[in-house]
Amino acid sequence: MQIDIISCVPALLESPFSHSILQRAQDKGIVQVQVHNLREYAVNKHRQVDDYAFGGGAGMVLMIEPIVRCIENLQSHRQYNEIIYMSPDGELLNQRMANQLSLQENIIILCGHYKGVDERVREHLVTREISIGDYVLSGGELAAAVLADSIIRLVPGVLSNETSALSDSFQDDLIAPPVYTRPAEFNGWSVPNVLLSGNQKLIDEWREEQSVARTHKRRPGLLAK
């Protein structure tokens, strides 16, 4: 899978893909993440990618031309399943969408900045718009990193123990059960005995019960499904 992220502040995306699971996914050759600097597709020598909004008002708008040039350059190398624009008014990201996107071959993620992008980009180029929540960020970069992370960890082969993604919250409309590690006793706070019992059947049953109880308490809406 290839994920191409288009940004006018690419430095914001350096760290998230350079460590831990996301770095290993790339090292294993399962996923390629490339960040493209919109300024390299600027239409003039001032590397301008934004301009004042027609009709006035505060805040700059990302121009359509650099975005088209960048997308066309990417499309000359491969076909894309989706061109996603990160947007606070897009579809709210959830695990089901991450699962679905993890099955795609190639994805472009476009990050807005300032007031957003020229609306014609959304009308004519973008195939999907995704939000990471009902709040406004300064730019789409952090949202793109969240989206890409949620997708990449689901691509087969990325997590060494593949069942570990399956047992995560939301994967089966249940919240994950609590987890503990050593020491078994700290400050008088002890780990549930069943987890130390060595009886895998009992442990599995306990985890299932905990998941259902937690889902009832924290996300009852999931059980209604």
Give the footprint of ligand SAH on this chain (CB under 6 A).
86-89, 111-113, 115-116, 131-133, 135-137, 139-140, 143
In the complex with ligand SAH, which residue's Cβ is closer, 108 or 143? 143
CA dist., res. 18 & res. 122, Å (int): 30
Least Å from the CB of residue 12 to ligand SAH: 11
Least Å from the CB of residue 116 to ligand SAH: 4
Least Å from the CB of residue 49 to ligand SAH: 13
**Which runs of consecutive H residues, i.e. helices, occur in the chain?**
20-27, 64-75, 95-101, 119-124, 141-152, 163-166, 200-218, 220-224
In the complex with ligand SAH, which residue's Cβ is closer, 136 or 179? 136
Are 108 and 149 contacting, i.e. CB atoms less than 8 angstroms apart?
no
CA distances from 83 to 148, 167, 178 (A): 13, 30, 37
In the complex with ligand SAH, which residue's Cβ is closer, 59 or 156? 59
In the complex with ligand SAH, which residue's Cβ is closer, 25 or 143? 143
